[in-house]
Amino acid sequence: MAKGTKKGKIGTIEEFDGLYPEEWLLLEVLEVDDNEAPDVGRIIAHSPSRTEIFVQLKGTTVKDVAVIFSGEIPKKGTMVLL
């Protein structure tokens, strides 16, 4: 996790996009929007490393989680390999 960041911080997905730019976020989902998409959550972990987040995911006991990337969505025609 980034320096100066408190694990367990609660906020909206929009807030986390600004706090952790270009990072992967592992969140406990606390509220969803009208489309059932995560809206409010608690940070379990965040990292620029996708692998690190999935390692954290394996170890979590939280039932309702989401993994989100806070970076820019690739432009149309861009190939992304994960």
Selected residue with higher pLDDT from 81 and 13: 13
Whole-model pTM? 0.77
pLDDT digit string (tens) for 71-81?
A: 876 677 766 66
Sign of CA dihedral 9, 10, 16, 19: negative
Q: Name the 3-class secondary structure at 3.
A: coil
| CB contact at 8 A, 75 and 50 | no
Q: Where are the domains of the chain?
A: 10-69
> Per-residue pLDDT for 29 more than 80?
yes
Q: What percent of the chain clears pLDDT 70, i.e. is strictly above it?
A: 83
